[in-house]
Amino acid sequence: MSADPQLEAFCAFFKILDKSCTKRIYKFYTPDVVFQDALHRIEGAESLERYFSSLYSNVTACHFVFHERQRNGQEAFTTWTLHLEHPRLNKGRVVEVEGCSHLRFADDGSGRVAHHRDYFDAGALLYERLPLLGGAIRLVKRQLDA
Question: pLDDT tens, 52-96?
Answer: 998 888 888 888 999 999 999 999 999 999 998 888 777 788 889
List beta partners, residue 125: none
CB-based contacts of 49, cutoff 8 Å, min separation 6? 22, 23, 25, 26
Helix (H) or strand (E) holding 15: helix 5-16
C-alpha distance from residue 62 to each of 37, 76, 85, 138 (Å): 17, 23, 6, 24
Q: Residue 113 and residue 109: Cα distance in Å, rounded? A: 10
Q: Which has the closest alpha carbon to 18: 43, 46, 54?
A: 54
Task: Tell me which CATH code domain 5-145 carries.
Answer: 3.10.450.50
C-alpha distance from residue 119 to each of 35, 63, 66, 107 (Å): 11, 16, 14, 23
pLDDT at 2: 59
pLDDT tens digits for 96-141? 999 999 999 999 999 999 999 999 987 666 655 566 655 666 666 6
Q: Residue 32 and residue 108: Cα distance in Å, rounded? A: 13
pLDDT at 41: 97
- Taking a C-beta distance cutoff of 8 angstroms, is the pair 25, 2 a contact? no
